Structure 1
């Protein structure tokens, strides 16, 4: 088991990463419909980023490397599918809700990384509030948005 810890700078930057989603929700609440694009694009980037972190963890260990590398590509594929769904439905709010749920569903993998000794021992102290926070803000954006913003 690793005795690595999440540093203060990483923690600060992680929580600062909630600011774009929070700002987009405020703009949506104020009627700025184009904020839905930020409300979707940013969480999709973060979802893909999480997969990249998992890939990095996989490359540092031989234990379950094939399984973890396989799991690590899933967030990017989900992000691609949800982004495409947003475009194909002319900006449906359900894609925001699904993206928020997808972010929250990353937590079991993060927990497995900790229990396997691959991630830092205090990883979940960072991941739980960030995944739940960004997931909830994205779901809220979907509820506020509720109908198409992209018109062709």
Structure 2
């Protein structure tokens, strides 16, 4: 098993926070505010869904993975979809959807901690997951508050 993450992979992982940071800046421009907020919602939903796929991949790669992980791994995609329902029915304010995703992304760290405790996720990966989930969750919550 890999002991560390290459610096290139670390940089690319951290670059994953840039879309939300750009959205925060763009949200202050009234002409593109809604575009920035809706783009930020979409990005958070896609990344949250990706996280479920990541967990699924860890489970498939672990010979003795607990069966609960497969159910948990599909939740991010389903929750991302549910968070978009207000927009699907015509609501134009993205704040609640952004807040829901921001909180869900941070709460999802509990799964990462459990996977690490089970030996399915190395410590270096958990450290990166903490940074990325906290960063994405907090920037998404910040956008919800704008």
Tell me if 1:108 matches 2:110.
Answer: yes
Alignment CA distance shift 1:23-1:102 (3 Å): same
Q: Relative contact order (C-alpha < 8 Å, sep 6+): which is higher? A: 1
Aligned residue for 2:45, secondary structure, equals helix
Stretch of structure 1 that moved more, 127-136 or 42-51: 127-136
Contact 1:47-1:79 within 8 A present in 2 as well: yes
**Long gaps (5+) in structure 2:** none
Alignment CA distance shift 1:98-1:16 (3 Å): same
Aligned residue for 1:24, secondary structure, equals helix
Give the whole-Å Cα distance in 2 for the aligned partners of 1:94 and 1:110: 25
Alignment CA distance shift 1:35-1:63 (3 Å): same
Q: 1:3: how far off?
A: 5.8
**Partner in structure 2 of residue 11 of structure 1:** 10
Please provide the CA RMSD for this pair. 1.5
**Partner in structure 1 of residue 142 of structure 2:** 140
Give the whole-Å Cα distance in 2 for the aligned partners of 1:55 and 1:4: 21
Give the whole-Å Cα distance in 2 for the aligned partners of 1:42 and 1:78: 14
**Partner in structure 2 of residue 94 of structure 1:** 96
Q: 1:8: how far off?
A: 2.1
Give the whole-Å Cα distance in 2 for the aligned partners of 1:40 and 1:73: 19
- How many pairs were matched up? 143
**Long gaps (5+) in structure 1:** 145-152
Q: What is the TM-score with the length of structure 1 in the denominator?
A: 0.87
CA deviation string 1:37-89 (max 9, x = no partner):
11100000000000000000010113234211111001111011112233325
CA deviation string 1:102-141 (max 9, x = no partner):
1101101011111111112212210111111111111111
